[in-house]
Structure 1
């Protein structure tokens, strides 16, 4: 049986990109969900004019993690087999959606729970040079996840992912901001999920894109990420590094 695939895009004030990105996404995914996270620009109006796209709107902005949480819930409630998440800022390539989704069930004997896009797994001809502070934060957090959780990742923050939907109810998303991926990775380890990276191009179209307020400062952003990681490891009773048992290490 062919898996049912949903592609979801969490968006917030993306009027600049919607008309370019969504038609291309629809070329590669039959079912598309947009989670409009309280946009205050023309995003809601543009979405109303588009056909063939499911839209859920948060009346108030919840944050990046809030948008993903809604996408997770929708995929589970509507009986999909695979959920692909992709950003709407033009930095991900929709043509890769089918290949990434297919990778979830590529191993017939034991499917993957998470196929995680990595912008650093391979070098593509059209790769961008990432802003220095963003690359540094990603490298430091990725090393923390490797050293503490044993995750063999090269990119801890890529939003381009495919999930086995049956695994999604195991996640309890309470971190609604940009640190949601750290909560996500801790819980993935806690539930001994099967994780595989998938190479995607490294594209930065808006190097000055804001994280909001104090988080635009890389030092503050790093402090925030570390705090969420520490708090989630305590909540999930996931110890760090050599303190983990063989069973906890998977």
Structure 2
């Protein structure tokens, strides 16, 4: 339990990464909720925002990296992980700066990693059934269930969700998988799970709540359709690789 763990006794460096794009309205609130006694550094990578995200991040004292052109959500994560590992991070926590996920549960997210009980911990909106209560549109909820069932069947694991952006990885996880070969788009999140599974890395989930409100970043219906199709493509590539029909470098 977190209550029985003193964060001052941590022996592992914890770095929060924030892949940001046009987050000026929610960044300050998100950073304010990060429990700083559990975190050593915060990195924000700005993906060519057109607002004051970079200015606010620097004012808050974050370590800021700026893309000159927009690389996409997956491309942003790649920079975040690369820079976090350069800083000597032993645990990397991804926090979206749109305040959709509650950073105050970071201790629950990283405690299993601090205790070497697993290699990654994912926050799941589906555990505990709080997704709809938090305002997730019903069509997204149903699509999430379908895609998760498909991914579980393909990867031979059981997770309640593959699509949450609130995650923590060990250094071992990030150094073992070839995340640089993944998509620069949203399907990056599924690809990095598939890579972990094929390498036998241990994944755990904790229940989290989510908030849907106008300033929270989210993709619309047609963008979600493209996302769903890209997941199906990833599943096919994964199976072809594991069946030794078509070798995929990203899964080696």
Common fold: TM-score over 0.5 = yes
Asked if 1:31 corresponds to 2:44, the answer is no
Asked if 1:139 corresponds to 2:145, the answer is yes
Asked if 1:195 corresponds to 2:203, the answer is yes
User: Which structure carries more helix by proportion?
Assistant: 2
Tell me the CA shift for residue 127 of structure 1. 3.7
Tell me the CA shift for residue 171 of structure 1. 2.2
Tell me the CA shift for residue 210 of structure 1. 4.8
Name 1:128's counterpart in structure 2: 134
Tell me the CA shift for residue 207 of structure 1. 9.0
Asked if 1:177 corresponds to 2:181, the answer is no
Name 1:248's counterpart in structure 2: none
Structure 2: 5+ residue stretches without partners: 1-9, 246-252
Secondary structure, aligned partner of 2:45: strand
For the residues of structure 2 that align with 1:8 and 1:191, how far apart are their CA atoms? Answer: 24
Contact 2:92 2:171 in 1 (8 A): yes
Asked if 1:157 corresponds to 2:167, the answer is no
User: Do the aligned partners of residues 100 and 213 (structure 1) sit closer, same or farther apart at CA in structure 2, a change above 3 Å counting?
Assistant: closer
For the residues of structure 2 that align with 1:212 and 1:203, how far apart are their CA atoms? Answer: 16
Q: Out of 172, 177, 199, which is 1:166 matched to? A: 172
Tell me the CA shift for residue 65 of structure 1. 1.0
Secondary structure, aligned partner of 2:96: coil
User: Do the aligned partners of residues 195 and 155 (structure 1) sit closer, same or farther apart at CA in structure 2, a change above 3 Å counting?
Assistant: same
TM score, norm. by length of structure 2: 0.83
For the residues of structure 1 that align with 2:55 and 2:217, how far apart are their CA atoms? Answer: 23
After superposition, where does 1:216-235 map in structure 2 within 5 Å? 218-234=224-240
For the residues of structure 1 that align with 2:12 and 2:69, how far apart are their CA atoms? Answer: 33
Contact 2:125 2:131 in 1 (8 A): no
Contact 1:35 1:57 in 2 (8 A): yes
Tell me the CA shift for residue 185 of structure 1. 1.7
- After superposition, give the CA deviation of every residue in 1:5-25 in whole Å (9 maximum; x if it has no partner): 011111101111012112222
Name 1:2's counterpart in structure 2: 11
Structure 1: 5+ residue stretches without partners: 244-250
